[in-house]
Amino acid sequence: MNNVSNASGVSKQTKLTYREALRAALRDALAADERVFLMGEDVGKYGGAFGVSLGLVEEFGTERVRDTPLSESAFTGMGIGAAIAGLRPIVEIMTVNFSMLALDQILNNAATLRHMSNGQLSVPLVIRMTTGAGRQLAAQHSHSLEGWYAHIPGIRVLAPATLRDARAMLAPALADPDPVIIFEHGSLYNLAGELDGGEGPVDLTSAAVRRSGTDVTLITYGGSLPKTLAAADLLAADGIEAEVIDLRSLRPLDDATIMASVARTHRAVVVDEAWRTGSLAAEITARITEQAFYELDAPVGRVCSAEVPIPYAGHLEEAALPQAAGIAAAAREAVGGHG
């Protein structure tokens, strides 16, 4: 990597947070295209429930950054209508738990209209929402329901887990003629670092190998990526080289990257903060057995959240979620014979 500045004149070594990266992407989008506007609960004056849109209403005005009533169904439906009508709305839903109130709009309208109109209507809508636990927000603000959305044909589901993806996924998501849901894991907002790899466009289809290894493939996404990388460090201390795959796109899944990695390591552990039952982890495990069965030298392992509503108490919440030590233990189990 060299240190050449990109076209916008910002050095790619700029230090910033995940939240700031998302904000920079929003600012770019609002500035670049007049059809783009942001709406949601408290995105304007308050600056967003998690501070992502802080300062944007002052910069772009209340027409482009709109506070909405507390009705996820209503403002998501408005977003769908605006998208059909030619605008490029970005709808922010405070948490994935609350998005259940908008699920009818997303599942029955956004995801279906292209199909039901024989291609006459498209819904170029972007929905951003916070997901996940780890901040003691208890069982109504902390769940990981990405897998439910990844179940639905007709929408694209993204999970940026790095500063770079937080910064760069929004533009291609807006360019997509179909609905795109972007999940921002709450534990990542304060993630700080340098914007490796610049601010240029990224693709929305491929998984990324965040760490190369030969002994076991750890497959994860979103808020579990930092924990999984930490687990890989623990494993490296034991002489086990883990390959870490960041899915990035939860729908469609990048099977090729997963299978290629499993074919190298012959062992896989899926790390998913969602509950195990009926989860993305289950889907990925099934695909591995479908497509790479004869590569497997151990059963596919899964590290998921305990099947309880996420607890409020800090120590219980921590115990309920996947942690680096547990991920490393599952990887050791898969690698087995080493010990």
Partner 1 sequence: MGEFRMPALGADMVEGTLTEWLVKPGDVVAKGAVIAVIETSKSDIEVEVFEAGTVTRLLAEPGDVLPVGAPLAVIGEAVESAPVESAPAESAAVQSAEVAAAPAAETVSAATEPPASTVPAAVEAPPPGAGVAPLPVRTEVDASAQATRPAGPPHLEAGPLVRHLAHERGIDLATVHGTGRGGRVTRADVEQLPPPGNGIRIRATPYARRLAAELRVELATVHGTGRDGAIRAADVRGASARRHEEEAVRYPAAHKKAPERRGTDRTPQAAPAPTVTAGRPAQGGASGRRTAAMRRAIAELMSRSKREVPHYYLSTTIDLTAATQWLHRANRDRAPGERLVPAALLLAATARAAREVPELNGFWQEDAFVPADAVHLAVAVSLRGGGLLTPVIHDADRLSPQDLMARLKDLVQRARRGRLRASELSGGTLTVSNLGDQGVESVLGVIHPPQVALAGFGAVVERPWAYDGMLGVRPVVTATLSGDHRATDGAVGARFLTAVDRLLQNPEGLAS
Catalytic residues: 72, 141
Instruction: Name the segment binding partner 1 (CB under 8 A); options: 66-74, 132-140, 276-284, 288-296.
Output: 288-296
What is the spatial distance between Cα 32 and Cα 59, in angstroms, rounded to a whole number?
13
3-state DSSP helix/strand/coil % of the chain, to nearest 5: 40, 20, 40
Report which residue type is found at 338: H
In our burial notation (b when 16+ CB lie closer than 10 A, e otherwise), range 79-94 reads bbebbbeebbbbbbbb
**Under 8 Å between Cβ of 282 and 219:** no
Per-residue binder mask for partner 1 (CB under 8 A), 241-280, x = binder: -------------------------x--------------
Name the CA dihedral angle for 226, 228, 231, 237, rounded to a multiple of 10 degrees: -90
Does residue 298 interact with partner 1 by CB under 8 A? yes
* CB neighbour class for 155 (10 Å; exposed up to 12, middle 13-18, buried from 19): buried
Instruction: Name the segment binding partner 1 (CB under 8 A); options: 102-110, 228-236, 292-300, 320-328.
Output: 292-300
CB of 267 to partner 1, least distance (A): 9
Q: Which two tokens stand for residue 57?
A: 């209403």
Number of neighbours of residue 32 by Cβ within 10 angstroms: 11
CB of 297 to partner 1, least distance (A): 4
Q: Which is nearer to partner 1, 230 or 296 (CB)?
A: 296
Strand ranges in 62-172 using DSSP code E only, listed in sequence order: 65-67, 88-95, 126-131, 156-158
- Binding-site size for partner 1 (CB under 8 A) equals 9
Q: What is the DSSP letter of 34?
A: T
CB of 293 to partner 1, least distance (A): 5
Chosen residue from 7, 118, 294, 315 binding partner 1 by CB under 8 A: 294
Q: Which two tokens stand for residue 245?
A: 């795959």
Does residue 293 interact with partner 1 by CB under 8 A? yes
What is the spatial distance between Cα 332 and Cα 203, in angstroms, rounded to a whole number?
33
CB of 301 to partner 1, least distance (A): 12
CB of 327 to partner 1, least distance (A): 19
Q: Which is nearer to partner 1, 155 or 242 (CB)?
A: 242
Q: Which is nearer to partner 1, 78 or 260 (CB)?
A: 260
Q: Which is nearer to partner 1, 99 or 265 (CB)?
A: 265
Instruction: Name the segment binding partner 1 (CB under 8 A); options: 20-28, 237-245, 295-303, 318-326.
Output: 295-303
CB of 331 to partner 1, least distance (A): 14
Chosen residue from 10, 139, 296, 329 binding partner 1 by CB under 8 A: 296
Strand ranges in 13-125 using DSSP code E only, listed in sequence order: 15-17, 36-40, 65-67, 88-95
CB of 338 to partner 1, least distance (A): 9
Q: Which is nearer to partner 1, 293 or 312 (CB)?
A: 293
Tokens 């109109």 correspond to 117
Task: Tally the residues of the chain.
Answer: 339
Q: Which is nearer to partner 1, 66 or 266 (CB)?
A: 266
- DSSP of 98-114: GGGGGHHIIIIIITTHH
Does residue 295 interact with partner 1 by CB under 8 A? yes
Does residue 297 interact with partner 1 by CB under 8 A? yes
Q: In angstroms, how far is the first alpha carbon of the chain from the final one?
A: 38
* CB neighbour class for 236 (10 Å; exposed up to 12, middle 13-18, buried from 19): middle
Chosen residue from 86, 153, 239, 337 binding partner 1 by CB under 8 A: 337
Q: Which is nearer to partner 1, 158 or 219 (CB)?
A: 219
Binding site for partner 1 (CB under 8 A): 266, 293-298, 336-337
